[in-house]
Structures are given as C-alpha cells and as structure tokens.
Structure 1
Amino acid sequence: MTITVLPHREALGLKAGQLLVGGQWGPGRDGATWTHHHPATSEEIGEFAVATAADVDDAVAAARQAFEGGWARSRAGTRISLLHRYANLLREHADELRALQALDNSVPLSFGGIYATSVGAAADVVDHHAGWVDKIGGETLPAYQGGDHLAMTFREPIGVVAAILPWNAPFLLFAQKVAPALAAGCTVVLKPSEYATFSVLRMVELLVEAGLPDGVLNVVTGPGDPVGEALITHRDVDKVSFTGSRAVGKHIVEASAGTLKRVSLELGGKSPAVVFSDAPNVGLAAMTTMGAVTLGLSGQACVANTRALVHRDVYDEFIGAAAGIAAAVTYGDPFDPGVLSSPLVNARQLERVLGYIEQGKSEGRLVTGGERLDGDLANGNFVSPTIFADVDNSATVAQEEIFGPVLAVVPFDDEEEAVRLANDTEYGLGAGLFTADGQRAFRVARRLKAGTIGINGFQIEPHLPFGGFKQSGLGREGGRSAFEAYTELKSVLMPLTEELM
C-alpha cells in the first residue's frame, strides 16, 4: 500500500507559513508562496510565503531598530530568564515539533528522539547559552607604559545577524545559531531551509510566546535565491552564520567581502572512521559507522563518517557487520515507529546520489545497495544503504561529500598510513577512532586535522565547540567560543591623572 502522511498533517492542523517582521506575521510583499512536497510521498504538505528582497530589507530594518532600541543594552537577567523560559517551552512541545519535522524532512519519529537531532538537545543548547550571558566580560589590564591609567576591554554584541539554516537538523541548528546570538545581545534575521520550514516556524512562535520583544528575531522564508542572496549581500547585516554546502559557503565569503561581514560557516565533511585491528568491538564500530550513514537521516548529516578506514586484519569482519546493519534499515511512513530512516530530501538530491553510486561502481566493489527503492516507496526519494569496498582513498566516492547512504571502505596496514589517509581530504569536520589502546587513541586524535574526534563513539554536546578544519568551515558553534563569535572586542583607555600616557 502506498504510504501517505496527509492524516498527520490534518491532525497537526498545519497552516500556511508566514513571514515574521518587526513582531508581525504576514505574507510576502508580492504574495508568492512555496509549496512543500513530502520527500517520502511527494504529497503536497503546505505552503509558506516567499520573501522578496524588499521583505528582507524590512526584516533587517526591524532587527536594526530592535538592536539599537534596547536589546543590545538589555539586562543580563532579562535575557537569561527569557532563554530559560524558551528552553522549557521547547521541552513541553517536543512531540509536536518532532511531528512537524517529520512533515518537513521525513526524519522518522523513531530517530527524532535521539539526542543530537532531538528537541531536548536544542533546549539544552538554549539553557547552556543562557548561562553565559552574565559571565562573558572584559578585562582590566595593568598599565604597560608611563602615566596612571586604566586599560580595559569590553565585549559587545556584533549587531544584526543573518542566520541561515539547513534542512537536516533544524532543532539543533536553530538553537546553535539563535541562542548565542540572542544571549550576546544581537538581533537576528532567520532564514530556514525551504525543506524544513514548518518546524522552524513553530520554534519561532514558541520564542515569541516566551516573551521575545518585537523585531529581535525576524523570519524570512523561501529558497536561497532570492531570499538567502538578499540576506548575505545586505549592507546592514553585520554577521552571517550559515550551515550548508561548501559551494554556498564560499559564495557567502565572496559576497561578504564588500562590507567585511563577520562570518561563521559549517560546510560539511568527508569524515573518516578509523578502525584499528585492536578495536574493542569491530561489530560495534561497524554499527556506529554504518548506522550514521544510513539510520535517521540516510547519510544526510555533515559529520557522518562516510569513509571507513579499516585495518586489513579486521577488514572482512567490518564489511560483513556493516552489511548486516544495512540490511536491517527500514523505510516508509516517518510516523511509523518501526521506520528507522528517511528518504533523500528532494528529487535533485536523489539524482545526485544515484550519480555518485554509478561512479562508485567503477571505483570499488559494490557490497550491497546502490538502488532506488520502489514498490510502496516508489513515490519517495529512497535509496538503499550502499557500501563500496576496496576503494582507493583518491576515488570520487572517498573524496566528495555525497550526502546520502553511501559508505566507502578503504583498507590500511599501519597507523602512519591510517593518519595519512584520514587527513587526505579537503574537509576536516569530524572523525571517529576505534581502538583499545588509549595511548594510540590520544596520539592519533591529536594528529587528525578535524574539529571533533570521537573515540570508540561519538556524541554532540551543547557545551563543546563544533566546527571544522580546512574547507569544512570557519568558526565554531557551541560553548564559550560560540558566544564570543557574536561579540566584538573593544579596548578602552582611561587616564586617571592629567599626565600624558
């Protein structure tokens, strides 16, 4: 039977999405809308407004007015209380938000409760950054040269922030951008992905309910062109925070050059899982790696270990275990608790992934998968979990971010080769290490050129910085470093006598 998600849409009472500008919800200036089609069924889910460049102008102006009008100088206690109220509201509405996400990007409910993609993780991020509001200050420094004077530093909010979200983890990434920006005293113009808009709009409604003043957060919806382009090129935007593709990230850097906007970018990866012969449990290493590539998001996760570098002594064992995980993955209605993974987000991404799989057939041994799923799933963008073995690390499927359920397995002989292969990529977002040797674990972790390293497991933490080396991006999200990324550092000198300094 062909699956449908329309009854869930009706149960949620989904309404058309609107822009939020200066505290007022409404349509775009020209009345244009975007119709969202569900990636698992191709059914029409709903419509939301497409902002024009003039709408973006209005949103930025509202954010500027709110910034200058008092939010930047608001008391620490005001921001702390608001963010804690918001975190509590997120937790109260977690089930509703997970259901909206399933309508947006088809991430199954079974996966939406896993910490890194959960509403609870987003709430923890909000709570964590609320805790920084009254703890980030400047310094008083001793006079270095003649004269009696004070040398001081202050941290002040940057200003108006353009926050541009991807579709794959809207809860966490909304929180990672919006929470530190608001905590620091910035105002925000937010653009959600057109493939995950309804869940983000509900998160915004809850933030308004928590008591956010008008204009502090504004929302412009629609595709990257024209909406995102109008934001990143706007002369009155002080900072751009973006998570998405490397190509768009490079364009943002170029577009920001004219006004020297501050930029934070998280641009994906081709992260390795390095499995040594002494891994505590090779089957668990395979489950962790193949699970990240197939379960939940179907490999549409920037930090997923889509390259497995495996010692030859455990190579066959790893591939057999990974193939077993692939065979256990289930697809279908995201509201079905037995469904463990999602389709690709749209038809364009489906064709892209299938193209990489065809390329991979000439670059390695196809162990399993590599097909579009049909039958009851024919209306969706489903691809079976795919493993390529005996891949050279220079191959296309081992170097390029596919963003689909495809794992490339590369053999190695010793630690030096493993480190060389792991670092032989233009990306540097994350990596996983599997070994029972604690000294080796720390030794190799220090040598890998990646922003986050998991040893015998991987977890996102709200207080840990997250971001990449090399072409995986600029800056970090999470922890103190994220808060500071939304501030400017100012030095102030004050003589205490009439003597010249």
Structure 2
Amino acid sequence: MTLTVQPHRESLGLKTGQLYIDGQWGPAKDGATWTHQHPATGEAVGDFAVAGVADVDSAVAAARRAFESGKWSNSRAGVRISVLHRYANLLREHADELRGLQALDNSVPVSFGSIYATSVGAAADVFDHHAGWVDKVGGQTLPPYQGGDHLAMSFREPIGVVAAILPWNAPFLLFAQKVAPALAAGCTIVLKPSEYATFSVLRMVELLIEAGLPEGTLNVVTGPGDPVGEALITHPDVDKVSFTGSRAIGKRIVEASAGTLKRVSLELGGKSPALVFADAPNIGLAAATVVGAVTMGLSGQACVANTRALVHRDVYDEFLAAAQGMAAGVTYGDPFDPGVISSPLINERQLERVLGYIERGKAEGARLVTGGERLGGELASGNFVGPTIFADVENSSTIAQEEIFGPVLAVVPFSDEDEAIRLANDTEYGLGAGLFTSDVQRAFRVSRRLRVGTIGINGFQIEPHLPFGGFKQSGLGREGGQSAFEAYTELKTVMMPLTDEMM
C-alpha cells in the first residue's frame, strides 16, 4: 500500500501560504513560491510565498513603524496581558488542528504532538507564563553611592524590532519561546518560519491576530534561508536576532550582527551526553529514556536529545540489551496513524547526511548493534532511517563529536565518575545532559561539574518558566523564564537631582 497524506490535507483545509506584512496577507512582490514536499511520502503538500529582499524591507519597515508608534510597545500592561492570555486559550482550543498541520509540515506524528515538550499546550503555557512578566519586571531605585540628594534609577525598555528565525523540528514551542517574551516586553517582530514547517506557523499567526495583536506588531516572511533569512539578519533596522538552528548559521548571524551591533540570542544544537551510572534506579528505564529521545517523535532531530550514552562498564551489556529492545519497538508510517511514534528525516539532504555518518561510524571501528539503513517497503518514498545504535564508540570519533541530527546513538563505556565527567565535557557543545543515578550527592556533584546548560536527573522535562540554552558552541543567551523576557529589553539608567544644587 502506498503511503499518502493527501486525505488529511483536504480535511484540514490547507490554505496557500502568504506573507503577512503590516496587517495584510499577500503574495511575494515577485510572485515567487515554494512547494513543500512531505518527508514521509514525497508528495507535494502545498505552496507558500518566498519573500524577496523587498518583502523583507517592507516587513521590517512595518515593524519599525509599529514600534515607534507605541501602540504595542507603550500600551498598558493590561492590554498586553489580556492579548497573550487570550492567545494561549486559542492555542488550546485549536490544538488538534495545529497538530494536524504540523504532521503535514514535518511529519511529526500526531501521537507525539501530544507529549508536553512538543505540544501546543506547552506553547500555550509559555504565553501564559510570559504574560505574567509584563507588569512585574522593571529596573531599580538605588541609594546614591556618593551620598547627596538625588535619585539613581534604572528602567527596562523593549529592545525594538526583533527578527525571530524558527527551525522546523519544534514549531509550536520555538514560536512561543521567541514570540511570547518579545511581545511581553513590548517589541515588534518579523518572523521567519522554516520552509519545512510553514503551514502550522501561519495558522499560529492567524490565531494571534484573532487574539487582538495590533497591525504591524508581528510580520511574517516565509521561504528558505537564502534569500529570506540572509536579508533579515543583515537588515540595518533590525535591533535583535533570535535564532534556533545550526551552528554554521549561528556563526553567520554573529558575523552579520557586527555591522550594527545587533543583540543576538542563539540556540545552536548539541551533542548531549547521558551519564548512566551502575547505581541508576532502573537500567532498562534509563536505556528506554535515552533511546526514546533519539528515535521517537522527531527521530533524533532534536538539539537536546542525548545522542551520546556514557555507560558504566558494570551495566554496559544490560544497557545495550535494553536499548536494542526499545529500538525494536519504534514504528514509522502515516503521521496521522496513532500507532506511529516516529518521523522520517526532514528532507533527502538530511537523509544522505545521516547515512553518511553511519558509514563513517562503521569505518572508524564502532560496533553497529542495530539499524544503520534506510527503510524500504511502503516507506521507500519517505526519508526514513531506522533506529541505529553503535557500541564501543571512541569519544573522539566523528559520531561521538558531531551533531548528526538523526536516530543514531553512540554508546561509550566508562569506569568511574571522573572519567564520565571528562568524556561528557569533551565536546565543543554544551547544551544538555542526562544523569541516571540513585545517589543524590553524586547527582548534584556531577551536575555542578558538567559544562552544559540544562541537566535532567533520572528524566528530562521542558518547563516554560525555566531558562534553556547552552554553554560553549551550543549558543548565546537563554530562552524561557525571566531571563528570556529580559533578553528582549534594554537597561536604561536615569539620574535626577532633588535640589537645585549641582550633583
């Protein structure tokens, strides 16, 4: 039977994607479009506009006019709070529709779209959380350091026009983590979704308009990184760029920001380790957690997934056996089938990249335990690679050091705590880590020594009120919580004498 998503396309009433600039939907000025091909079937899903440089100029100009007008940036706190809360409720009401659109975009199964970290509900919670900061974050009033009769104060003000550039793998959460704090702070936005996850984001934008966002406050330019993303990151009237994606593009954004000293927030991926100690509460559960993160849902196409498993030699064989069992239960196919729990790779380029890393792992001497090939049969038209586990991996090898972004787990043995920490930190990345141990003291001791931004102890969960981001080359800045809100503000210092005497 041939796999197809066309019936779902019709039932969801997929619209042709257009740009949204200054409160108006419309095509690109030059009429350019992109046809999105479904990663599970190769079918053409739909077309959307590809913005040109002139479209980006118009979008940034609209955002600048809206910001300078003050209709959002200087609005009453209660106005912003009510719009953000109203939007959170609309997201929850349309959760099923949005999950369906995401399945048409990136083929993430609707079953996985209900799991909190990748759900519409998580995005709604992020908006609710940031709505709570609107009337609470301010500056300080300080006593005069030199004495005298004057006031010394600081204020937080919105940073201005923000370019928010989204990846394709988690459009709900990443939309929320960028848009919610920026709007809460009073910024205006030019948003660029990934060309591989556009339709779900456009629907999210429609709902935000319905919630009452003023015209020009949020503008949307669609299309690939070249020309759309490049035009955004180099635009002289953009005050801040917030980007989630590859390290190579992150470095390009830093270079482009130098001309106008744009503020930059970057989340650039990782090679996150899971440290499995012999005293882990349940070795089988630890293996299932690690393998699940690398193979289920996004099929390893997640920046924070524990793609390196550092396992104590005393439980090494037990871990591998349990990992194989977990991998054997992963199912693929129609993303709308509730029995399907994993997705294909996003495009043919990524498919070839992952298969190349698998061959590199074999060539460098790692032991292939399971997987390692493209899936065929009724899946042959899609970009499917089965769960792949390598054992006896050298931590210095390519598959242990480079971000593969696919369902490939590298298992590395260790003998003691110091070796585990050394191996974990021996990477250019520092996004996340997992710790599996029954020893509370060890859990905190090791956590303090790991050079990463987020650590899960015997499990992992995304929380809307906690900061998320990485050390080293995993990025700059944090998303989530108060730190995210403040990243969309500038601090201003004001001093005022209370008498006519000179200060």
TM-score interval (norm. to shorter):
over 0.9
Matched, 1:416 2:415: no
2:25 aligned partner? 25
Contact 1:89–1:206 at 8 Å: present in 2 too? yes
2:256 aligned partner? 255
- Any residues of structure 2 matched to 1:28-177 within 5 Å, and which? 28-70=28-70, 71-177=72-178
Match of 1:443, SS state, is helix
Contact 1:189–1:220 at 8 Å: present in 2 too? yes
1:288 aligned partner? 289
For residues 23 and 243 of structure 1, what CA distance do their matches in structure 2 show? 26
1:328 aligned partner? 329
Contact 1:147–1:500 at 8 Å: present in 2 too? no
Aligned residues: 501
Match of 2:137, SS state, is coil
Flag structure 1 segments of 5+ consecutive residues without an equivalent: none
Specify the code of the residue in structure 1 equivalent to 2:447: A
Specify the code of the residue in structure 2 equivalent to 1:458: F
For residues 7 and 429 of structure 1, what CA distance do their matches in structure 2 show? 39
For residues 467 and 312 of structure 1, what CA distance do their matches in structure 2 show? 31
Match of 1:251, SS state, is helix
Match of 1:128, SS state, is helix
- Any residues of structure 2 matched to 1:376-455 within 5 Å, and which? 376-455=378-457
* Identity over aligned pairs, percent: 85
Match of 2:297, SS state, is coil
By how many angstroms is 1:362 displaced? Answer: 2.1
Specify the code of the residue in structure 2 equivalent to 1:46: G
Specify the code of the residue in structure 1 equivalent to 2:352: E
Superposed CA deviations along residues 416-449 of structure 1, whole A, max 9, x for unmatched, are 0000000000000000000000000000001000
For residues 453 and 337 of structure 1, what CA distance do their matches in structure 2 show? 30
Flag structure 2 segments of 5+ consecutive residues without an equivalent: none
TM-score (norm 1): 1.00
By how many angstroms is 1:146 displaced? Answer: 4.5
1:360 aligned partner? 361
1:494 aligned partner? 496
Match of 1:73, SS state, is coil
By how many angstroms is 1:145 displaced? Answer: 1.3
TM-score (norm 2): 0.99
Superposed CA deviations along residues 277-309 of structure 1, whole A, max 9, x for unmatched, are 000000000000000000000000000000000
Superposed CA deviations along residues 19-77 of structure 1, whole A, max 9, x for unmatched, are 00000000000000000000000000000000000000000000001101112111100
For residues 69 and 20 of structure 2, what CA distance do their matches in structure 1 show? 18
Specify the code of the residue in structure 2 equivalent to 1:125: V
Match of 2:39, SS state, is coil
For residues 54 and 321 of structure 2, what CA distance do their matches in structure 1 show? 56
Structure 1's consecutive aligned runs of 4 or more residues displaced over 2 angstroms after TM superposition are none
Match of 1:135, SS state, is coil
Matched, 1:298 2:292: no
Specify the code of the residue in structure 2 equivalent to 1:59: A
For residues 41 and 48 of structure 1, what CA distance do their matches in structure 2 show? 19
Specify the code of the residue in structure 2 equivalent to 1:274: L
By how many angstroms is 1:147 displaced? Answer: 3.0
Contact 1:40–1:343 at 8 Å: present in 2 too? yes
Match of 2:468, SS state, is coil
2:245 aligned partner? 244
2:309 aligned partner? 308
Contact 1:147–1:499 at 8 Å: present in 2 too? no
Superposed CA deviations along residues 322-381 of structure 1, whole A, max 9, x for unmatched, are 111110000000000000100000000000000000001123000000000011000000
Match of 2:363, SS state, is coil
Match of 2:73, SS state, is helix
Contact 1:128–1:463 at 8 Å: present in 2 too? yes
